[in-house]
Structure 1
Amino acid sequence: MKVGLLDSRAARLHGYWAAYLKELGVEVVTPSLPDAEALGLGQKTLPGEALPVQLALGRILALDSVDAVLLPQWAPVQNDAWSEALGELLSRRISGLPALIPVPDSAEGLEGAAAEVGLRVSQNAGRVRLALERARIQLPGARAEMPPLSVASRVTVGVIGPRTLLAEELLSGDLRRAIAALGLHGVYSPELPLAEVLKRAERMEQADTAPAGERELFGAASLLSGKGAVRGLIFAAPARNGAALAALERLAARQHKPTLLLTVDAGAQPGAWPDLEAFRDRITLGERSQEQDA
């Protein structure tokens, strides 16, 4: 059996699933096109959808003759059908796709789901048990370090957004370069230790019932806003994703530090975010005043 595995930079457990499938003796197929071409294919096929959806579809279409594809589950926000049921919706919209199998992208429920996938693709219970044991070494460690919060001669900003946007260089690279070009040091929410993010998310109202994606966004914003080095927060939503934009608007309204809300599209040109420079000036004004007083 040939199983497709997307080269998603946003997937936390890509290494685990690659190792697991290898131990199962399954032939693993990855997209045959570079990400930029895959995105273009997805944009042509679903022009009205959000960037992460287009990129995921493009990567699926760039797989050659597979029987099934493993799709890491996205952390959903309120009213975002794509993040709740990506595979199901893609199969409805696009005919002829291989079987799309949603798989966990965190430790919760991982081995049970992996066992089901293993039996489905290999039909060998003994091999599945052995593969589960050998693949555990690929799981991320429980302890993860915070990224650097300060860089010399730069003012620090937190950048909060869906992992499917900010962890993908192809999608967020223009924004990252624009932030750096203004002399800012960006600390991005996907780079934060997940355990600390989720611990902060416990402070969220109705945390037990809130969608996983909103808990992650809240936890990241809470963690970064509590750091003295972080002078302001930028909230970034994928273009054409009204649910993510609404979730970030709600979150930005709760902050006490300066905030900026942006939408990010592919191929952004210089000056795509005219409010970014004004935001830089706003958060650096206090820094300059302190230097003058000194």
Structure 2
Amino acid sequence: MKNVLLTGVTSKIGRAVIPVLLDNGFNVTGLCRHPEKYTDECDIEIIKHDLNDELKIDRDFEYIIHVASYVPYNFDNKDSFEKSFFENIRSINNLLRFSLKNNLQKIVFTSSVDVYGDSDNDYIEEDSNLNGISNYGISKIASEGLLNVYFHLYGIKSTIFRLSYVYGTGMGEDRFLKRVITDLKCMKEIELYNIDNVLNIINVKDVAFALVKALDGPCGIFNLSQNFTLGEYINSAKNVLMVPTIVNELKHSESVSRRYYSTKKLKSCFGWEPSISLSDGITQIVEDLK
């Protein structure tokens, strides 16, 4: 049985990954700052640890899945910038230093499509220019760079997934996609700009499946995303809830966003296809609200 060290076990991605790892026969050890927040049914070992500090565990791990990340709520705040940047960099650096002392086969890392930043292109592939303009996006670019350095210097392999917005079970109450569901349940009028805008989202379970598949899969960098229009999301939610919708589409001077992130490389290398439909993902959110 191979050992996996999983960071961010209390996050929505971490919680989704654990049962998939166990179902595939891995022995899972989780890291988090607040073990008391882990209340899931899956029985795994939890080690209390802050990834800003050097990691000292006297055992070997074949794999590390690193999903823990500091995501600032205020992207314009200087303190938030520094906390996001330095915490995320320290975390991956401490994990990489720890990996030098282990018989590690691979690190699987969750990056973000924020690394692409502003772009004039609507079609984004993995070799598109990186133009991160947020503190979070810049920290992910730097983290990817560290993984690349450790591969060339020490041969530590990695698979990096650039995630779009992750939705489904475990979303925060203040998230837009969840607030839309709440308003629909209450049959409130919904005011939206440009319902033809493309939503680049990925379900948390599809993220979990991809992360686990990557452990014994190809190395490299891969976009992980699906695209729907805002109108498609609203219509699917209406059908799941079986309620009428009152949508007031407001005029907006900005053009419709049609950007989407290509998963052609992921499908070619992994044979990946999303397994969670939009309606199933919305059902997860509805279940969370009960």
Task: Kindly indicate which of the two structures has a greater share of residues assigned to strand.
Answer: 2
**Larger Rg belongs to:** 1
Task: Kindly indicate which of the two structures has a greater share of residues assigned to helix.
Answer: 1
